[in-house]
Amino acid sequence: MGQYALKAIVKDADTKERLPGATAVRLHTTKVAQSDNNGFVTINDIPCGEQVIAFRFLGYQQRTDTILFPQASDTLEILLEKEGEELEEVVISSTRSNRSITDIPTRVEFIAGEELEEKGNMKPGDIRMMLNESTGIQTQQVSATSANASIRIQGLDGRYTQLLKDGFPLYAGFSGGLGLLQTPPLDLKQVEVIKGSASTLYGGGAIAGLVNLISKSPAEEKELRFLINGTSAGGLDLNGFYGQRFDKVGVTVFASRNSNKPYDPSNTGFTAIPQFERYVLNPKLFIYAGPRTTLNFGVNAAIEDRTGGDIQYIKGKGDSTHSYFEKNKTQRFSTQLSFDHAFDESSRLRIKNSVNYFNRKLSIPDYVFDGRQISSYTEATYSKQFEKTDWIVGFNAYTDNFSEQPDDTIAKRNYDQHTVGLFVQNVWKVSALFQLETGLRGDYVNDYGVALLPRIAALLKFSSKFSSRIGGGLGYKTPTIFTEETERIQYRALLPVNSESNKLERSYGANFDVNYRTSLFEDRVGLGINQLFFYTRINDPLLLTGSAGNPYRLSNVKGYIDTKGWETNVKVSYGDFKLFLGYTFTDARLNNDGIKMQQPLTARHRLNNVLMYEVEEKWKIGLEAYYYSKQQLSDGTTGKSYWICGFMAEKLWEHFSLFVNFENFLDTRQTRFDSIYNGTVTRPVFREIYSPLDGFVVNGGLKLNL
């Protein structure tokens, strides 16, 4: 009847890191204990003989051992394997260091795998929904009839966010127009989001943050996927992706056709969804010249014809002299070239280049804006790893040439910008608890001079459950005529920007977050909490002045824009259920020469609620609810608060799946509780759009994985 004790130390099987908070259970009894901060666990009062002990830890596979008591050794070493969905390491490329997401001092949000698939089911034709349903991010619609939108992070105008494709600024300047609407998500491997100043990483424009769309690369196993989607609003999406590696050569090809009929659910006479037809083709070739050398070259092509406005005119029942319309014809072509060579285990050289051509012809009654942008980006970086520190030094050059064919008496808004930058970045692993990342960039912008951009970030890992990040830096934005405000007026009667009357917008910002995860009720419930606080200030912001009938101009006002607030994210998992809760508080204000006002089109309070039920490789069912509080509008009025709710289901088989999505089933529309224009149907003056216009839309389709 002698009594004994279990003594064990619980570790990660791969890293041998000790796991505090792991649970040891003597099965079929009430004997339970948790490991301490050093991973040690003890269960007392165990009788002699063979006993079955289960070891559990959130994110790891349960291990069950039959142990003979008394123990042969004083302390057993228990190694736990990570669960299947955690086995693939999440590597982040946006910070240039290609480190695991758990070891990066810079705070990075990551969208991939199942979440990326689910968002793709809801909006297979573009990436708006994928971004808009993240805390702190809003896709702001800037055209009432063409549905053009921009990305707003933490309440800042879309021009302060960089949208990248594989680290290339393919959507900068003029080419950002309609960018969100022309990027289907099927060929994306992951999406990386950095909130707060990231200008030290990628130069001007990343004041609010950056979004990096990472394309899939070929694997030895062939990937051939097709997606067919139709909507109750007259939309049709046909997407296909192929990828495979053949020893020294690999290839990926993405192709899509996306279209929509003109759609007006509110009978206002104007399109909530415009008529459009778009073709996208993205082939990419990978050459593996050796075990340490990779070369890849890709081409991105998109052609679209989009018409919004008077729905009777679009259907051929009206004439152009008595109807309002907004036509967009765009052509987007770009190349991507990347060279990667590792000299040894610790040093690497990367060189990349892109050339981008974007042409857009925007037509409204009595006016045409016809512009062309040719831009290029070249970068070379060298990285070196030491025992406790990583160094990255680099050079990049960005050119941006814009020219137009003017259709009125306003002078041409042509410009030719050149930016050359040098940067250095260091990550220092001070200890297992503390890592420090520092960086410095110097950019020379023709006509505007030099901008120095220091940056610092720190990671504190108190335990495997609790960590914290803090960071901040400076940023800048080169003035151009392309802003949300000028897009709303279709650039009509807008004077050029020049270095004599305008200057760089300069900023500083900081953020701080804490991250905690644990398991409850004998590891049956997983809990993760992330709390972020942020602040950004932009000095001498570029704002639109003027009025209808008089020339508009963009001027640096005497004052600043600042935005501050917090984001709270909670994830709860139980069996096949996952609950995501998010809250964003944003206080964005404009100080214009001492006059303070709320920044327009910014919801002060926002809630994100998502409940998912998933049976692996069988079912996915999701219910969503998003709340937006009242928003201040530029005309002095205040928009209504509203909820958007959705329901999604997908049934999976081995090689195909069927999905259906009931988006906005409460039929929330701005046209139900507010007007979208003043004036007449033939000469409308559109108000700002702060709520959906398309209302309740059902979409569904088929995915093939051959």
Give the bridge partners for 250, in sequence order.
Answer: 245, 286
The arithmetic mean of pLDDT across residues 637-660, rounded, is: 95
User: Residue 196: inside a domain, yes or no?
Assistant: no
**Percentage above 90 pLDDT, the chain:** 65
**Mean pLDDT for the stretch of residues 405-428:** 87
Task: Please state the rounded mean pLDDT for residues 390-411.
Answer: 87
Q: Are 117 and 131 in contact (CB under 8 A)?
A: no
Residues 396/414, Cβ–Cβ less than 8 Å: no
Q: What is the pLDDT of residue 465?
A: 87
Cα 654 to its chain centre, rounded Å, is 30
pLDDT tens digits, residue range 255-289?
A: 999 999 999 999 999 999 999 999 999 999 999 99
74 and 218 share a domain?
no
Structure-block tokens of residue 299:
């081409």
* Average pLDDT over every residue of 470-485: 95
Confidence of residue 660 (pLDDT cuts 50, 70, 90): very high
Q: Determine which of 105-114, 338-347, 353-362, 448-457 has the lowest per-residue pLDDT on average.
A: 105-114
pLDDT of 633 above 50 = yes
Looking at residue 39, which CATH number applies to its domain? Answer: 2.60.40.1120
Provide the CB-side half-sphere exposure for 199 (13 A, CA).
Answer: 30
Average pLDDT over all residues of the chain: 91
* Cβ-contact 648, 133 below 8 angstroms: no
CB 124 within 8 A of CB 229: yes
**pLDDT-derived band at 60, boundaries 50, 70, 90:** confident
Which residues constitute the domain of residue 542? 214-705
pLDDT at 373 over 80: yes
Q: Is residue 145 part of a domain?
A: no
- The last residue of a domain, from among 80, 95, 126: 80
Q: Is residue 144 part of a domain?
A: no
The whole-number average pLDDT for the span 140-160 is 91
Whether 150 is covered by a domain: the verdict is: no
pLDDT tens, position by position, 203-241: 888 999 999 999 999 988 999 999 999 999 999 999 999
Q: Is residue 484 part of a domain?
A: yes
Lowest-confidence pick of 49-53, 168-172, 564-568: 49-53
- The residue type found at 100 is S
413, 401 Cβ separation under 8 angstroms:
no
How far, CA to CA in Å, does 648 sit from each of 120, 158, 434, 678, 697? Answer: 11, 29, 42, 37, 12
CATH code (residue 571): 2.40.170.20
Mean pLDDT, rounded, for 85-101: 69
Beta bridge partners of 330: 304, 360
Radius of gyration of the chain (CA): 27
Q: Is 116 helix (H, G, I), strand (E, B) or coil?
A: helix
Look at 93-107, 486-500, 584-598 and tell me which has the smallest mean pLDDT. 93-107
Helix (H) or strand (E) holding 129: helix 128-132
Percent of the chain whose predicted confidence (pLDDT) is above 70: 98
Residue 169 within any structural domain of the chain: no
Q: What is the pLDDT of residue 381?
A: 96
For residue 171, tell me if it sits in a domain: no
DSSP 313-369: HHTTSS-TTS--EEEEEEEEEEEEEEEEEESSSSEEEEEEEEEEEEEEEEEETTEEE
What integer pLDDT is reported at residue 17 of this predicted model? 84
538 exposure class (CB count in 10 Å sphere: 0-12, 13-18, 19+) = buried
Residue 283 in tokens: 């082939």
Residue range 160-179: mean pLDDT, rounded: 89
Predicted confidence at residue 84, as pLDDT, reads: 52
pLDDT of residue 409: 64
Which residues make Cβ contacts (< 8 Å) with residue 521, sequence separation at least 6?
A: none
pLDDT at 411 over 90: no
| Domain C-terminal end among 80, 114, 133 | 80
Q: Is residue 317 part of a domain?
A: yes
What gap in Å lies between CA 82 and CA 79, rounded to an integer? 10
| Cα separation, 402 vs 176, whole angstroms | 13
Q: For residue 382, is pLDDT > 60?
A: yes
Q: Is the pLDDT of residue 181 over 70?
A: yes
Residue 191 has pLDDT above 90, yes or no: yes
Q: Is the pLDDT of residue 86 over 70?
A: no
Task: Give the pLDDT of residue 72.
Answer: 67
Q: Which of 80, 111, 138 is the last residue of a domain?
A: 80
Distance CA 663, CA 696 (A): 6
CB 269 within 8 A of CB 310: yes
Beta carbons within 8 Å of 121's beta carbon, 6+ residues apart: 648, 650, 659, 661, 701
- Cα within 13 Å of Cα(187), Cβ side: 26
Is the full-model pTM beyond 0.85?
Answer: yes
pLDDT at 379 > cutoff 60 = yes
Supply the pLDDT for residue 47. Answer: 85
- Kindly state the average pLDDT of the residues 149-163: 92
Number of domains making up the chain: 2
Judge whether residue 87 has pLDDT over 80.
no
DSSP string, 479-498: --S-SHHHHHTTTTTBPPP-
Are 140 and 159 spatial neighbours (Cβ–Cβ below 8 Å)? no
pLDDT given for residue 85 in this prediction? 46
